[in-house]
Amino acid sequence: MSGYTAHKGEYLNQAMVDVARIAKITRQLYERQQFAYLLVDHNWSVIEASANLENYGFGDVRVGDDAREAIDFLVGLDSHSTLDLPIVLSPSQNPVHIVLLPEDESLTVVLMDASRDYEQQQLVQQKANENELLLAQQRQLMADLEQTQAALVTKNTELREASRLQSSFLSGVSHEFRTPLAALLGYVDVLGERLLSQSQEESEEQLKVIRRSGRHLLSLVENLLDHGKFDAGEVVLNPQAIDLQGICDEVHAMLHQGAASKQIALEFDTTPTPLPSCLIDDSRLRQIMLNIIGNAIKFTDEGKVQVIAQCADEQFSLRIRDTGMGISKDDMQNVMRPFWQAPKNGKVGTGLGLTITERIVEMMGGQLKIDSELGVGTTVDITIPAPLIELDQPDINSNRAEHIGARRYLLAEDDPDIAALLKLLLVEQGAEVTHVENGQQAIEIAEREEFDVILMDLQMPVLDGYDATKSLRDRGDKTPVLVMTASAIEADRTRAEEVGCDGYLIKPVAVHEVLSLADELLQNQSAV
């Protein structure tokens, strides 16, 4: 107790010195205007404000006012809590360091100049943030680059796959050609050697193989040509009045043998029976049916292939159901791709049949759907718009000309080799042939003389076949014009039809083709 008393004066003295020193420092700071202060009660009513508060932009703070009215940054703050706000910028003011120091009855708000801190931090932080942004940009660029690279790799893989498909197609198709060709040539040799020695049945059997092989090759080539034509946009539909039942019967007859030889049943079920006549491109419809039903037979080793053909509401629908090997889910995505063939199915082909069929069906405004289960079978549903029509059935045999060779032909052909041979072959069939070397001569002679049929080459000097035909038609000459050309391009055919040609033959032409087509044209003409 006495110790405390003894030292009391000393402690007080020391405290006084401290307070005085703090007061001095504070005054010095204040005098140098390095801080300002505001004293408020807990309801923000101003008790006291340092005179230099206006240097901080708060000149109109008066005792008794609500401090929050004059000073925005106080809005929302708690007058009972200590708060340190190191750098605060208000519009048109220097950065300040604000500290809230609450006491029992009041709150002191101290404002200190923070310009130096602000400037230093601004420099460092600006640089750091800009660096980081650059890094982020760089990362983004790298990611973009990687993405582009990945896309290129994918594209490359796709291209390689396409190229692989083409190659495997080439080897597949070569194989496909070789087998029937070998059979064909082999039997031709056999026939040639034994023509005299073997029985007629044997010869007929060998002829059948030759014919079958030939047809197969032909269908392959046709598929290939069709695919090319689709790619070149050269396929045009040619809807005609056809007898649906007739087509179905015909297709059945064509495929029945193939199914029987594999000991599977091929059932045709048509509703109504007979199916009506309607407007459809018959050759394309036949192609669709042969492709799909042919495939079903090809991929079915036991059981049956069922074809349900219905015609209702001007729609022709076909359902082809088989009990074959079926298609796996993975393969299903590929079946429509050109040149694709199921791996290891043991069947060969061009891988084009289905692609072409789908494109034809689409072109006809129809739909093709495949539903399949591996090991159970496949069902293909096809619907094609089929406008109904009345079909007259003229007896085409009644008017058949008796002497199909005895006709007068005008042959317009500039190639002497072709002209000489064709003329000779026609004459040998009993025809009369007048040969001219260009379209102009053809027009001139057609004005003077009458012909049954004009055989017109398309590419000729002076006046070509198109212009010559057009000119003939313009003059009212209705003589059937049968065009012969070495071009297999559909556009040429279309153009020829537009100028008024009646028939179209692709060179090399066989004389019997000329004769039968000429005959058909004349039949049609006399029927009109």
- Which positions touch another protein (CB under 8 A)? 68, 72-73, 75-78, 81, 83-91, 95, 114, 118, 121-122, 125-126, 128-130, 132-133, 136, 140, 414-415, 417-418, 420-422, 424-425, 428, 457, 459, 484-489, 507-509
* Residue 393 to residues 103, 277, 293, 320, 390, Cα–Cα distance (Å): 116, 11, 28, 29, 10
- Please enumerate in sequence order all residues whose Cβ is within 8 A of that of 283, keeping only pairs 6 or more positions apart, or say none: 238
Cβ closest to another protein, residue 99 vs residue 308: 99
> Under a CB-based contact definition with an 8 Å cutoff, are residues 288 and 357 in contact?
yes
CB of 123 to another protein, least distance (A): 10
> Under a CB-based contact definition with an 8 Å cutoff, are residues 88 and 100 in contact?
no
Cβ closest to another protein, residue 136 vs residue 260: 136
- Please enumerate in sequence order all residues whose Cβ is within 8 A of that of 290, keeping only pairs 6 or more positions apart, or say none: 219, 251, 254, 255
CB of 65 to another protein, least distance (A): 15
Q: Which residue has the tokens 């036949």?
A: 286
CB of 348 to another protein, least distance (A): 23
CB of 28 to another protein, least distance (A): 26
CB of 56 to another protein, least distance (A): 13
Cβ closest to another protein, residue 182 vs residue 489: 489
Q: Which residue has the tokens 């739909």?
A: 367
> Under a CB-based contact definition with an 8 Å cutoff, are residues 48 and 10 in contact?
no
Cβ closest to another protein, residue 103 vs residue 144: 144
d(CA 478, CA 61): 112
* Residue 400 to residues 20, 125, 524, Cα–Cα distance (Å): 140, 102, 11
CB of 79 to another protein, least distance (A): 10
d(CA 385, CA 362): 11
Tokens, residue 419:
């002209």
Q: Which residue has the tokens 């006549």?
A: 277
Cβ closest to another protein, residue 125 vs residue 163: 125
Cβ closest to another protein, residue 358 vs residue 457: 457
Cβ closest to another protein, residue 324 vs residue 465: 465
* Residue 509 to residues 322, 422, 447, 485, 519, Cα–Cα distance (Å): 40, 9, 27, 9, 15
> Under a CB-based contact definition with an 8 Å cutoff, are residues 94 and 112 in contact?
no
Cβ closest to another protein, residue 133 vs residue 150: 133
CB of 66 to another protein, least distance (A): 11
CB of 495 to another protein, least distance (A): 15
Cβ closest to another protein, residue 220 vs residue 242: 220
**DSSP state for residue 365 in the 8-state scheme:** T
Tokens, residue 273:
């029976």
CB of 412 to another protein, least distance (A): 13
d(CA 433, CA 422): 9
